[in-house]
Amino acid sequence: MKKVTLSSGNCLGILLALIVFFAGLFIAVAFILTIIGPIIGVLMMLAALFMGGKRRKVWKCKNCGYVFDRA
């Protein structure tokens, strides 16, 4: 048995992450002369990096490839 992390993303989650990323980019650029605009924009872009995907920790059999969740 081998410890593996499976990643999967759904289309709606990835689309939402892209919208949040570009909204953060817009806020950072539109309010660049203020101090709070770039800070909020960068924080939104960083938050978008962690959206849209799902990770599962599983055990995977080296021989047959069968996977099941780790407890």
Point out which residues pair with 53 in neighbouring strands: 9
The CA distance from 56 to 51, in Å, is: 15
CA angle 55, 59, 60 (to 5 degrees): 105
User: pLDDT, tens digit, for every residue of 18-46?
Assistant: 899 999 999 999 998 898 989 999 999 88
Do 59 and 2 meet the contact criterion of CB atoms below 8 Å apart?
yes
Tokens of 63: 């021989």
How many domains, in total, are found in the chain? 1
Question: Which residues constitute the domain of residue 58?
Answer: 2-69
Whether the per-residue pLDDT at 67 is higher than 80: the answer is yes
DSSP β-ladder status, 2-9 and 53-60: antiparallel
